[in-house]
Amino acid sequence: FTLMAMPPLVIQATQRHTATIIWLHGLGDTGAGWRPAMPIFRMPWAKFILPTAPVQPVTMNMGMSMTSWYDIKGLAPNEEQDEVGLERSRKIVEEIVRQEIANGIPSHRLVLAGFSQGGVMALLTGLRFGQRLGGIVGVSCYLPLAHTFPKAIHEANHHVPVLLCHQTDDPLVQYSFGQRTSTLLKESSEVPVEWRSYQGGGHGVSDQELLDIGAFLRRVLPERDDEGSTASMQGISITTIIEPPSI
């Protein structure tokens, strides 16, 4: 197990920085794999932080070492979960959030988002975080350690906006996994969940999905921060769309 494979990729805001989005990749990917998607969200006031997961053996992949936020035993609904690995990566992600708050961005101007394994980590970390977040986005994922919820939701995030997106034909993380997560949060908590389903994308992300995610992000993190925040203007520009294959 390597604590971090590499430093997070950071895409600075191209105008006054008032919000930050932390995007977490899927199994075997890196933060850089999602870099081309970020401009699609059309948020020049936002800084994007794209961490890369630690390198570790993955049981499901015959013990091969790769970037992975936690070990995956298998993809069956009742498969044993790597609680130790989940907690270890939760602390890594939470530390990135805390560093951003220390740098002057209020917690309510932060969103945790991710694809597949990364979406799992966004849900786990965001719902348990002790300060109010701006939102959580989970794409092609599920809520881990579901038996600990809703009790595990921190009172600060009882009303955090959550967007869940899933392809109906996902062959790896079953569509029903996402549905169950949405139902659990809607029926047993006060968390406002938006559930969106798509067709034909498999275990990937469609153009429409990215546009919908962007609309959600701009709604929960609008350019104007009425409660105020500090940060300076820096930036780069990038383009194109991706459909990552990792889980």
Q: Are 134 and 105 in contact (CB under 8 A)?
A: no
Nearest partner of 144 among 120, 127, 113, 162, judged by Cα: 120
| Residue 108 annotated as catalytic | no
**What's the CA gap between 107 and 95, in Å, rounded?**
13
The catalytic residue among 29, 82, 170, 225 is: 170
| Residue 212 annotated as catalytic | no
Nearest partner of 61 among 80, 74, 76, 77, judged by Cα: 74
The catalytic residue among 17, 203, 225, 246 is: 203
| Residue 116 annotated as catalytic | yes
For residue 49 the two structure tokens come to: 């932080």
The catalytic residue among 116, 182, 189, 246 is: 116
Q: Which residues contact 226 (CB under 8 A, 6 or more apart)?
A: none
Catalytic residues: 116, 170, 203
